[in-house]
Structure 1
Amino acid sequence: MAVDTAPAPALVDERAPARHLRAGIVYAVLGLLVILAAVALLGDRTTTVAFDKTLTDASWDAPTRTVVLILGVIATAAGAWMIAGLPQRWYKIAGAAAVAAVVLALLFWAYSQEGTVFRAESILAGALFLSMPYIFGALSGVVCERSGVINIGIEGQFLMGAFTGVLVANITGNIYAGLAGAMIAGSLSTMLLALLATRFQVNQVVVGVILNLLALGFTSFMYDQLKKADGLNDAFSVPVISWGPLADIPVIGPVLFQQKLFVYVGLVMVAVVWFLLYRTRWGLRTRAVGEHPAAADSMGVNVNRLRYWNVVAAGLLAGFGGAWFTLGNSLAFNKNMTAGLGFVALAVMIVGRWNPLGVLAGALIFGFTTQIARDLSAAGSSVPGEFLQMLPYAVTLVVVAGLIGRAKAPAADGVPYNPGDK
């Protein structure tokens, strides 16, 4: 019997050329709009870029129209290159160049108004810090959904972590005890989700929504009680960690080497979760129960037990992220202070395609958008404040609408499993 030794054909995404064509058209149109706007509206404006933390006297005045025109040409050229059918390996580079050019053009335009200065170091450092709740919440979602359990309750876990962190810090007088309390509170919140999802096989989306409402009601009630007692809701602050001479490096120093503990824990956890998911036996089993639990069961993996403990462990991350809202920002607890960022963290998880490294990239996008909105609002920008407050959520819709159609969740995500099922 003859054996066919020819290599198997490579898997090709037949929809890729059409998708690239559509994206190229969008980028080219955006670039042309940027060029037309620069010619018609910008005039003789200048944009000031300053380095305010390490080089206090260093600033650069750039002609806004010229810079925006150049960036518009770059975006248009990248879009035209994609329309012309560039090789597959260059698609992401061209797309990233087009998006970066359009974003930079908008920033130069926004900061060309009188009284506004693009303080590069402060904005980048603030963007990294503001990305932390998205990182912790999205990593919690990654661990849960890679295990096959949908975690809609991140918002509630944030609230429990924020409240408990402040309460424990006030009772003990130790901020690190408060951080530990926040993690435990987040884990206890997910424990109920894990129990209902694995043992009682309740609809996981419904359970997540109910847990969010339960956390909101509980923390609001407890906040009203704490107002009647002194010394139980005072603000605590995590100190800034400075890395000595490294903190004095222009741009990089303030961004990476002069931040609060949350930033370093967040970056380390991205690396740790990625390593555990893709380089360890636990990660292999976790991904197996999220994709094909029956196959994992046939290899001796206790599917529901692994799901249960993974969800409980994921709550530690969400609880720590909740402490960011209070202990990380030197704030006392207030009602609903998480402001829906738990749901944005779910969007970050989807944008990151359930991969910790993708989560980091998505979180930085949302953190940067939030920081720009805050900075422009504080500088007295002519852009309405309501629009600036809406900006991070608008970016959430745009990014998710652009990527969710191509993002594929784990196959068994949200599907209960009974031992012996096929």
Structure 2
Amino acid sequence: MNVEAVLTALVSAAILSSTPLLLAAVGEAISERSGLLNLGIEGVMLISSLAAFWLTLETNSGAFGLLGGGMLGILIGLTFGALATVGRADQVVLGLGMTLAGAGGSAFVFREIYGSDQPLLAVGLGRPFEGMLDWLPVIGPALADQRWFIYVSWSLVLAAHLLVTRSRLGLRIRAAGEFPLGLEAVGGSVVRVRIAAAAIGGLFSGLAGASLSVVELGFFSPGITAGAGFLAVALAILGRWSPLRVLGLTLIFGLLTGLDTGLQIAGVDVRTEFLNMLPYAGIVLALVAFGRGARMPRALGKPWTGIAESR
């Protein structure tokens, strides 16, 4: 047994499988930082995944598919933000409604377009750094043998970190979630900031769904997300709403998910059901152990009613 080959395959699979979850969790972290609790990520991912899959098939371009999924995510995020702020809709009910609509709508549209067929994508996404880090055992090949969108995703996570911690908009996003009255008092608009944060979160969620069908799997099927949207909410909380912490957590989750692939290559006989359960059980245990210590944004889930009504 080649131990190095097994470890390389495990790390490579972890990076690939963690990408959709990483993008969704970072998007949720930004949304929650502004005070918006979006439980509709699952629905956004499903709809964007189908849209990206269809666009890729029609244009024979994975880049167009990913772009379309991201743009659709922005549109849905703007809608959610407007309904939650201007319309003052209950954020939990609105988010769950989006998830149900996304699950049912994507399944219906997929069956209407493709019937009982299961088309597969034959579009390849290039690996720009393949073979460049072979001198570095395990980590080198695993990092270099990735499709270009993986590196784009990491760049977006870094951009999200800089946005939240180093930019004026990021300061306003944090203020909208912690002390919206203070933001309004200095001339900011809680409504506009929260809608902007919802749009950014929608972009990340849309790209997460698109990457699932276009980059990771190469096909779409109803329910393809398998609860990834709700896992993203949990990871955003565990990561204390920090994009870089979320990155670390999703890589750990990806390693647990990739155990199945690594052990199969190694020829180890372990029940698949146990391995499939392991990552989710780990998230639940982590939430129980560390979730209580997380200090949520003070205004999370609370509708903004204006300065006059807040006094």
> Is TM > 0.5 for Structure 1 vs Structure 2?
yes
1:124 and 2:77 correspond: no
Distance 1:378 1:163 in 2: 31
The range that moved more, 121-130 or 142-151, is 121-130
Residue 192 (structure 2) aligns with = 305
Residue 24 (structure 2) aligns with = 137
Structure 1 counterpart of 2:3, from 50, 58, 64: 50
SS at match of 2:128: strand
Distance 2:75 2:3 in 1: 46
- The structural deviation recorded for 1:249 is 3.0
1:373-406 per-residue CA deviation (whole Å, 9 max, x = no partner) reads 3433565644322212211111111111111011
1:397 and 2:279 correspond: no
Contact preservation (8 Å) 1:132, 1:262: no
2:9 corresponds to which letter in structure 1? S
1:325 and 2:278 correspond: no
Contact preservation (8 Å) 2:10, 2:261: no
Distance 2:116 2:60 in 1: 16
Distance 2:146 2:70 in 1: 21
Question: Relative to structure 1, is the Cα distance of residues 133 and 231 closer, same or farther in structure 2, using a 3 angstrom cutoff?
Answer: closer
Contact preservation (8 Å) 2:46, 2:102: yes
- The structural deviation recorded for 1:133 is 1.5
Residue 162 (structure 2) aligns with = 275
Greater helix percent: which structure?
2
Residue 211 (structure 1) aligns with = 98
SS at match of 2:24: helix
Residue 174 (structure 2) aligns with = 287
Let me know the Cα RMSD of the aligned residues.
2.0
2:21 corresponds to which letter in structure 1? Y
Residue 245 (structure 2) aligns with = 358
Structure 2 counterpart of 1:195, from 67, 73, 82: 82
- What is the correspondence of 1:211-250 to structure 2 with a 5 Å cutoff? 211-228=98-115, 234-242=121-129, 245-250=132-137
Question: Relative to structure 1, is the Cα distance of residues 369 and 230 closer, same or farther in structure 2, using a 3 angstrom cutoff?
Answer: closer
Query: Normalising by the residue count of structure 1, what TM-score does the alignment of the two structures yield?
Result: 0.69
- The structural deviation recorded for 1:183 is 0.5
Residue 265 (structure 1) aligns with = 152
Distance 2:274 2:253 in 1: 15
SS at match of 1:328: helix
SS at match of 1:240: coil
Contact preservation (8 Å) 2:37, 2:301: yes
Greater strand percent: which structure?
1
1:11-69 per-residue CA deviation (whole Å, 9 max, x = no partner) reads xxxxxxxxxxxxxxxxxxxxxxxxxxxxxxxxxxxxx66222xxxxxxxxxxxxxxxxx
Distance 1:133 1:352 in 2: 16
2:303 corresponds to which letter in structure 1? P
Distance 2:98 2:303 in 1: 19
Q: Relative contact order: is structure 1 or structure 2 higher (C-alpha 8 Å, sep ≥ 6)? A: 2
2:74 corresponds to which letter in structure 1? S
Contact preservation (8 Å) 2:27, 2:204: yes
- The structural deviation recorded for 1:235 is 4.9
Structure 2 gap segments, 5+ residues each? none
1:383 and 2:247 correspond: no
Distance 2:152 2:231 in 1: 20
Contact preservation (8 Å) 1:373, 1:391: no
Number of aligned residues = 309
